[in-house]
Amino acid sequence: MSSYFALIKSLPSRVYRRYQKLHLYGKIILWLWLLFELCLVIAIFIITPKRVAQFMYDNVERLAARYPVGFVAGVSILTILISFPPLHGHTTATTLCGFAWGLKGFFVAAPASLIGALVVFSALRLVFKKRLSTLSKGNEKWQALEAVIAAKGLPLIILIRMSPLPPWVYSNTLFASIGSVSIWQFMVATCCVFPKIFLHVFIGSKVAALSDGEQRSHMDTHTIVINVLLIGGGIIIAILASWLVYTSVQTHIRNAAGVSPETDELAAEAFEDAEDAPLLVSDV
């Protein structure tokens, strides 16, 4: 637990360091994105969240009904695309599946997530194979992480894949950067994330039910409260599960059998800095 809170305390300094590494155009894009997000939040409060939610629900339902195949394909392609760094939004995309199709959205979110992860993993391995080998040899921390993962095998790979840190897109790159992880191990580990994806879909389905005024009009206060509690409970479960998985990963990395304590510590540092995986940096 102490390592988890230590990571949270170090987040501001890590974010600032990453900001400092950005080129001028990267910083401009980042500030424009933050300005857009701020304007979006202000607009939502001006228009009112209820009207925004109703607008989103009506349009998603209209697209899903009018272009069923195209909408499924569009959301699937979006989920695949945001599996590539530096894009983000996997949780949003999977929650959208629940918002659009209810629990059936899981059968869109899960396959699209698996395909996206495999495409990223395979593409990075094939395109940057020589670069990966060269960069990994010059990165002591990364060598330590590879040694620990090779020693612990599939159980640790699954735990890292289920961990909230690194985020989905950087987790894909992390495993592509580790030569000791085979594609079948990556597939199995990715399938183990499906329960978390189902939770996102579930939350999205409940948000959709509360977003539609027509559905709300047929709900009594008791039903509305239950739906709100289910959404809140789902979020709490996701947070608690994420904390448990993350601390478990740290424990497994720092106590790998047959690996020196120094290597364990370097591997733990490499895991915490997963966004600096060899395939994401220009120099090591």
The tally of CA atoms less than 13 A away on the side-chain side of residue 214 is 4
> Is residue 91 pLDDT above 60, yes or no?
yes
> Is residue 111 pLDDT above 90, yes or no?
yes
Q: Which of 32-41, 91-100, 210-219 is predicted least confidently?
A: 210-219
In our burial notation (b when 16+ CB lie closer than 10 A, e otherwise), range 244-254 reads ebbebbbebbb
Average pLDDT over residues 272-276: 60
Q: Which residue bears the tokens 């739906």? A: 227
The tally of CA atoms less than 13 A away on the side-chain side of residue 165 is 22
Asked if 96 and 59 touch (Cβ cutoff 8 Å), the reply is no
Asked if 177 and 277 touch (Cβ cutoff 8 Å), the reply is yes
Q: Which residue has the higher pLDDT, 27 or 210?
A: 210
Asked if 83 and 90 touch (Cβ cutoff 8 Å), the reply is yes
> Is residue 10 pLDDT above 80, yes or no?
no
> Is residue 26 pLDDT above 80, yes or no?
no
> Is residue 197 pLDDT above 90, yes or no?
yes
State the Cα–Cα distance between residues 88 and 226, nearest whole angstrom.
31
Residue 271 three-state SS: helix
Quick one: pLDDT at residue 282? 46
Counting other chains too, the contacts that 126-135 makes at CB distance below 8 Å and 24 or more residues apart are: 128/279, 131/278, 131/279, 132/176, 132/177, 132/179, 132/278, 132/279, 133/179, 135/278, 135/279, 135/281, 135/284
> Is residue 139 pLDDT above 70, yes or no?
no
Q: Which residue bears the tokens 């760094």? A: 85
Quick one: pLDDT at residue 284? 41
For residue 180, the 8-state DSSP code is T
The tally of CA atoms less than 13 A away on the side-chain side of residue 226 is 6
Quick one: pLDDT at residue 114? 94
Nearest alpha carbon to residue 167 among 85, 49, 227, 240? 85
State the Cα–Cα distance between residues 74 and 218, nearest whole angstrom.
32
